[in-house]
Structure formats: structure tokens, C-alpha cells
Amino acid sequence: MRTSDFDYQLPRDRIAQRPAEPRSSSRLMILERSTGQIEHRSFRDLPEILSSKDALILNETRVIRARLSASKLPDGGKAELLLLERRGAMLWEVWVGGKRISPGRQLELAGGLRCEVLEDLGGPKRLVRFDSPITPMLSEIGIPPIPPYIQEPLRSADEYQTVYARHPGSAAAPTAGLHFTDDLLADIRGRGVTIAAVTLHIGLDTFAPVTVEQPGEHPIHSEWCRVPDEAIGAVRHARGAGGRVVAVGTTTVRALESAAEQATPEEILRAYEGPTNLFVLPGFEFRVVDAMLTNFHLPRSTLLMMVSAFASRGFILEAYQVAISEGYRFYSFGDAMLIV
């Protein structure tokens, strides 16, 4: 298995620049693993596709306004910070933009807030210490960190936020969840489907392409997640009723399967809170997830590798070519795929 096995060519006009309006009007491709069949539906059809025995599991993380403009001290040169992971009240791992931002460098942000670069973490990553807690100031001085392939500015920050986002901490949105509306979720609940939630705070490494030749040599990132008792109960109820565990997004899959690693086979999974560095490649044995709702992912990404592990690489790449020929929209604001 090579990284090049997960490559494909995408015309630039297939990269969605805006979310569908309304969100639930996006397209939904259904992949049936047992038969190899591909079906084309609308996302608004999801309630009738799900069974009352199923459990739909969401990721309730909330994207923070993590992109910050800064100036270098004392010369005033421009710099940019992207918050990746909080290490303490004033300590953050960040992605920096700008030249000569080395340990010892002082930076000034809006409102007079300052930080110092403490450590070079490799590439553009740095460990910085702010002179006061930055989280309360993000709504005033930060902007949402939309992916670079989205060239059009957001009309509002809520466009890059799920309607059920609750817990701040992500540098990117769990994009499979962007298709849901409050009305659609109410319809799903009204049909008897159990809805539960986990939290996994997403770092930008999730979306980064794999650059090494062998995927297994890729330095997988760590992300914080929480799988509460309510999610455990929903999974066990679905299994007991003969239903499916339907994970909304690869981040939800990662959280659930990480919790399963803490459990005995009889438990299925166990409540968990902490870091996960689970890397799902073809050959991985899924213990919890029966169906995966996801978007169309970047070439050579760990996310494309995960969905190829859930279905098969050949089936996924075939479906991607069908999606291209059928005019599906790709990436964060693009259409969705349900793998059953």
C-alpha cells in the first residue's frame, strides 16, 4: 500500500465554495458495501433512509475563531497565528505564518495582547505563551479558519459551524455535519432514531495530505475527544435492537473507535475522555461503526484512507469518479456520501 494509491484528479470547479442553501438540499451518494451499488439521493432524504432502530452519533465540537493577525516585535513585521491546541490557560500550539518566527520572538496581537514563541515544533508549528488567557478574546480578535481551497469569504461565521455545535475547541469544522438543519434533526428524532453525541476537537493535521511514500510512516496527530455514557447507551441500544450505529463524519468514527480500544469485546466500547492518535488504514477492524456519513475528501489524505478502510479503496475511488462525472461538489462545503 502506497500513498499514491489514494490519489485522484479533481477539476477545480468541483470544489464547493459555498454551502448548499438550505443545507439539507445537498446531494447524497449512497454506497452499499455488500453489493457495490451506488445510489443518488438528496440529503433531505436521510430521515427515511435511517431506521428507528438506528443510533445517529454526532460530533458536537465547535470551531473557534482561531486565525489571528499579529505583528512582530520590535520591528512590526506582519505575522499570522492559527491556534491548534491549548496546552494550558495561556499556552498554545499554533501554526505560524511569517518569516523568522523563532523561539524568543515576541508578537503583538489586537487589543495589546502579546505572546512569546517558546519552542519550534517543526515546520510551521510553534509553542507560544500568551501574556493572558486568549480564549475570552477570540470572538473579538479572531476569524474562522476556513480551508485555503475556499476562496470566497464567509457570509457569516455560522456557515462554517454545525447547527448542533456546543463545545469550543476545533480549528476546523466536522464537515459531514454541515448538511444538517434543526428541522431535519427534528424529523429524524420524530421517526424514533436515537441521536447522541461525542466531542472530538479537530486539528488542521486531519486534512493535511500524506507526503511520505508509505502511509504507515505518516506522523499521525493527536486530538482530544470525549465519548460520554449517553453515546455508549445509544450504541448499545442500537446493537440490542438490531439497528446500526451511524457515525456522522470521520471525526465521530475516530472518537467511537478510540473508545472501543479501551473496552473489552463484550462491552463494545467504554466511556472515554482524553487524547487519541488512532490512525485508520485499510485492514483496520471496525468494532463500533456500521454506517458512515461523510463528505468527499482530499487526495492522499488520512480521511480518504479511513473511508477506504471502511469500504474498499477500489470502491471508494470508483465512487469518486462517478461523483466527478455526475457533478457532485467536493470538500468542506460539498455534497455527502453515506456508506452502509
**In the predicted model, is pLDDT for residue 64 greater than 70?**
yes
Mean pLDDT score, 5-11: 96
Band (pLDDT 50/70/90 cuts) for residue 325 is very high
**In the predicted model, is pLDDT for residue 203 greater than 90?**
no
CB 199 within 8 A of CB 230: no
**In the predicted model, is pLDDT for residue 171 greater than 90?**
no
Q: Identify the pLDDT of residue 157.
A: 85
Q: Identify the pLDDT of residue 114.
A: 95
CB-based burial of residue 151 (10 Å sphere; 0-12 exposed, 13-18 middle, 19+ buried)? exposed
- C-alpha grid cell, residue 267: 462491552
Band (pLDDT 50/70/90 cuts) for residue 297 is very high
Mean pLDDT for all residues in the chain: 94
In terms of Cα–Cα distance, which of 64, 26, 73 is closest to 177? 26
Per the DSSP assignment, residues forming a β-bridge with 114 are 108
Mean pLDDT score, 220-227: 90
Phi/psi class of residue 174: alpha, beta or left (left: φ > 0; alpha: ψ in -120 to 50)? beta
Band (pLDDT 50/70/90 cuts) for residue 135 is confident
CB 169 within 8 A of CB 62: yes
Distance from C-alpha of 204 to C-alpha of 182, rounded to nearest angstrom: 27
Band (pLDDT 50/70/90 cuts) for residue 136 is confident
**In the predicted model, is pLDDT for residue 310 greater than 70?**
yes
Q: Identify the pLDDT of residue 178.
A: 98
- SS3 of the chain: CCHHHHCCCCCHHHECCCCCCCHHHCEEEEEECCCCEEEEEEHHHHHHHCCCCCEEEEECEEECCCEEEEEEECCCCEEEEEEEEECCCCEEEEEEECCCCCCCCEEEEHHHCEEEEEEEEECCEEEEEECCCCHHHHHHHCECCCCCCCCCCCCCHHHHCCCCCCEEEECCCCHHHHHCCHHHHHHHHHCCCEEEEEEECCCHHHHCECCCCCHHHCCCCCEEEEECHHHHHHHHHHHHHCCCEEEECHHHHHHHHHHHHCCCCCCCCCCEEEEECCCCCCCCCCCCCCEEEEECCCCCEHHHHHHHHHCCHHHHHHHHHHHHHCCCCECCCCCEEEEC
* Comparison of pLDDT for 66 and 219, the residue scoring more: 66
Band (pLDDT 50/70/90 cuts) for residue 1 is confident
Q: What proportion of the chain, given as a percentage, has pLDDT over 70?
A: 99
- Cα four-point dihedral sign 205, 208, 210, 216: positive
Q: Identify the pLDDT of residue 267.
A: 84
| Residue corresponding to grid cell 491546541 | 85
Mean pLDDT score, 244-262: 96
Mean pLDDT score, 81-87: 88
Distant-in-sequence, close-in-space partners of 35: CB < 8 Å, separation ≥ 6? none
- Phi, psi for 169 (deg, rounded to 5): 165, -10
- Phi, psi for 88 (deg, rounded to 5): -175, -175
Give pLDDT tens digits for 145-162: 888 899 998 998 899 999
From residue 123, alpha-carbon distances to 68, 95, 102, 108, 184 in Å are 19, 9, 11, 22, 42
Mean pLDDT score, 251-268: 92
**In the predicted model, is pLDDT for residue 208 greater than 80?**
no
- C-alpha grid cell, residue 258: 478510540
Mean pLDDT score, 159-171: 94
Distance from C-alpha of 262 to C-alpha of 241, rounded to nearest angstrom: 23
Domains of the chain and any CATH numbers: 3-63+153-339 (3.40.1780.10), 67-141 (2.40.10.240)
**In the predicted model, is pLDDT for residue 207 greater than 70?**
no
Amino acid at site 240 = G
- C-alpha grid cell, residue 185: 434533526
**In the predicted model, is pLDDT for residue 206 greater than 70?**
no
